[in-house]
Every structure is written in structure tokens, then in C-alpha cells.
Amino acid sequence: MPHPATDHTSTPTRRPTAPLGRAALHGTPPPEHRTEQGRSARTLLPRRSTAAWEPADHDRDPLAILRAQNAHRVPGLVPVRMGRMAATPFSFYRGAAAVMAADLGAGATTGLTVQLCGDAHLANFGGFASPERSLVFDVNDFDETHRGPFEWDVQRLVASLEIAGRHRGMSRRDRERVVLAAARGYRETLRSFADLGHLDLWHVQLRGDDVVDRWRGSVPPAVMANLRQALDKARTKDRHKARRRLTALHDDGELRFVSDPPLLVPVRDLFDADEREQLLDVVSTALATYGESLTGARRVLLERYRLVDLARRVVGVGSVGTRCWVALLVGRDNDDPLFLQVKEAEPSVLEPYTSASPYREDGRRVVEGQRLLQATSDALLGWCSVHGVDDRRHDYYFRQLWDWKVSADIDTMLPVAMAAYAQVCAWVLARGHARSGDALAISAYLGKGDVADHSFAAYAQRYADQNALDHQALVDAIAAGDVEAVRGV
């Protein structure tokens, strides 16, 4: 949220609605045209060419890209980000979306555009509660979402699987099976979605029980039992658990965030009393403004809660250093808490290599991209922008902090389980691309055979090699004292 000196909050931009008619309802081209478009894309980016990837610029400097990102982040948290990225090649990859965007943006593309997740590595998929209170599995990180060529998301996913497999000490053969499972799963799922009507496709989602049913025969019973246990545990990770872990009751009868620096720091420990009150006033105004981005019924729900505390929170790897807050609100009483994550949205790392965002506010870009890609989204997902006395606009998006969240334990995942998980991730990625792009054209490009699958697998190996070099460059820079890092946080 803004610095205490923030002077006002802007309202979300309202874009005029196009009138009904030909300008608003243009439909899709005939299937034969879309199929030909997909096949023609093979001349722009031959399917086998991905396998031969190498950096377009051999003087590329990944650390320079990271330094440019860090310049806009909270200075005291940048060393934490560098320390987390330096831990392993996989943790580096998680934080290096901007580096990979530069590499992808330097090459040829298919021109078959979709709404990209923008950071589709395997740790950015997981389960959460739908507004209807069922556990669904989907993409769950959209900071970098932007329109672009579909293959960039697939490349980001398959490379993450190869890197994670190396991190787990898997054999080359096992890693190849995992990556091919994802590439094949994406291609076959896209083809099945190409046969659906638009409305039918729009309602397709993957529930937790569906995951169990669909991939039961792909993994040993013990792995499936662990999956069921994880799904059951996810339903306990809710606002009541957040209250027990993140807050304490003070003498005035109000809940307050506990202090756990640097991961969770209440505003009372960041600012003096006057600044704190000023900040909370600004946040209250921002919450009201954010409410304007919700539907009417959900806005009424939000208005029944009052803000009682705010804390700065460190999340993830790549996001460390961005202004991320968690707001504590209370409804009927202290047994009715609401935790909202308030996260700063910066321009997508993909934007320099694609086209300008259609939205002036990056918070709105994130929210609109998430709503398009996910089958169902957080009921309180929204956005707002605030301006400070420095005349800089800060964009934020809001969502519930914990609402049945579950993610895969990559550090303990066996090859057979990772292969099944790769298929699940590929399924939901294909579903998001089919919703936001042309499944028939993409399917025609990929074809019925496994040419594209093996090309993506070869790309994953090559990019994993490059990522290892980039990670080592960061480790060496830290050792030389050129980069400050805090480890183990």
C-alpha cells in the first residue's frame, strides 16, 4: 500500500461498453480458416526449431536485468530476494521471469496469441477454494500475465520441470519423461478443447476430486494417498488458521498482527504513531476504492468488514521486494476475520517484447488476466490505484490471503508423481489458453504427432543448462561482494 504521505486514491478507470451489433459481436472465423492459420504458423516458427534454442545475445547479462528490477523495490528486502534466488538453480529460475522473458522475446514466435500466465513454472499452480466452496486446481500466480504467443507459457513450464527434476536428482531419462508428459498433455488437451463449443469450454474446470479421478491410475497408491491427504489439509488452511498463526488479541480487545521480521512486519513496527494512523486512513480509502472493482453483491460483503491492522509481508521468490501487504479486517466479531493480500502490480516482464497492455492500471491487468485464465476466481479479487505526493501511481490487486490453498511439495516429489503433476499443470494451462486464444489454430500448429513434444523437451534441457549458468553467475557475484544477499530467510 502507499507511503503514509499518499494524498489521494484514484477510482478504477471505466471503459465504455461497445454497443451490441457487428462492432461488439464479431464471432470467430470458420474452422478451416483457423486450422490453416495454425499450420501456416509453422513457417514463422518451425516446430523443430525450438529444440535448437540458444541465447540470441551471447553477451546477455542476467544480473543486469535483476538489478533493473530491484531498483524499484523496497531496498531492505532486495538482499532477501537475492538470497532466496541464490539458494538453488530452481529458486533462481522462479525469480528470473524477467530474464527468461528477454530470452524468449529475442526469438521468432508463432504469432498465435493467448492470455499468458507469464510465469507458468510448476510452483505457480495449485488448489484453492472457489466461490462455491469447492476445491479447484488452476494457475495461481498472475503478476506477469499479458497477451503473447502461447508457446512462451509452455516453454516456461517445461523448463521448470527439467530444472526441478535436476534439483531432485532425477535421472536424465526420468526428467525427459516428466517433460514429455507435460508437452504431450498440453497438446492433447488443447486438441480436445478445440472440439468444444465456446460456452462449453467456458464452464470447464478441474476440481480436487477430478484430479484424483483423472490421474488415479498414473501413480502408485501411496502417492495418491498423499494427494488425498494434501487436499484434505488444504481445506484447513483458511482465515481461521491465519488468525491463529498470524495474529494475537491485544488488551484493547482487538486482533493485531504478530511480528515475525522480515517475513511479517506490522505497520506499528515500520512507522511512528502519526504515520501509522495516516497510512491506515489511506488504506481504508483504498479498500473502498478497490470495492468498486467488485460486483455489487461482493462489494456489499466487503463493506460489512472494518480494517483493524496492516502488515508488510514477504512472499515467494520473484515477488520479494515488491510492496506486499496483508490487511486484517473483522466482521461480526473477532471470530469473523478477513485477511486480504494487497500486492503491488508492476508492468509485466513480457510487455517490452509483445504489445502495450490495454489497461492503464497494472492491478487491473493482473485481475482481468486472472479472471480470463482461471475457470473460477477468488470472490474478493479486485484492484485499485493510488497516487502519492511524488506523483507516482502505485497499482495494487487484492485477494484473500488463505482460502484453502494447497501446492505441490516439489522437494519430495518422485518422478512418477512429478510426471502426473506435470500433466495436471499442462491441462489447466491448455484450458486457460483455449479460453483466451484459438485452440483450433494452436492445435493445428502442434499437430497430432509428437514432433512439438520432443522439441519442447529439447528446449527444456537447453534452457536448464543456461539457467544453471545464470544461477552460478549470481552465486559468484554474491561471493565477490558485488551483490548483497541474505540467506536462509
Residue 1: predicted pLDDT: 56
pLDDT-derived band at 403, boundaries 50, 70, 90 = confident
Which candidate, 384, 441, 346, places its Cα nearest to that of 142?
346
Residue 20: predicted pLDDT: 38
Residue 14: predicted pLDDT: 37
Q: Cβ(281)–Cβ(310) under 8 Å?
A: no
Going from the C-alpha of 436 to that of each of 6, 114, 201, 372, 487, the distances in angstroms are 37, 5, 11, 7, 40
- Helix (H/G/I), strand (E/B), else coil: 126: strand
Name the average pLDDT for the chain: 90
Residue 8: predicted pLDDT: 38
Residue 405 has pLDDT above 90, yes or no: no
Residues 335-381 have pLDDT tens digits of 999 999 999 999 999 999 999 999 999 999 999 999 999 999 999 99
Residue 133 CB neighbour total at 10 angstroms: 10
Residue 141 has pLDDT above 90, yes or no: yes
Residue 7: predicted pLDDT: 41
Q: Cβ(464)–Cβ(162) under 8 Å?
A: yes
Residue 231: predicted pLDDT: 80
Outline where 195-334 has alpha helix (H).
198-202, 208-215, 221-234, 239-246, 273-291, 296-303
Residue 17: predicted pLDDT: 39
pLDDT-derived band at 288, boundaries 50, 70, 90 = confident
Residues 217-250 have pLDDT tens digits of 777 787 778 778 878 888 888 999 999 999 999 9
Residues 21-74 have pLDDT tens digits of 444 567 888 999 999 999 999 999 999 999 999 998 888 999 999 999 999 898
DSSP β-bridge partners for residue 383:
397
Q: Cβ(357)–Cβ(372) under 8 Å?
A: no
pLDDT-derived band at 387, boundaries 50, 70, 90 = low
Q: How far apart are CA 402 and CA 263, in angstroms?
A: 16
In eight-state DSSP terms, residue 379 is T
Cα R_g (the chain), whole angstroms = 23
| C-alpha cell at position 256 | 493485531
Residue 13: predicted pLDDT: 39
pLDDT-derived band at 285, boundaries 50, 70, 90 = confident
Residue type, 436: S
Q: Cβ(436)–Cβ(115) under 8 Å?
A: yes
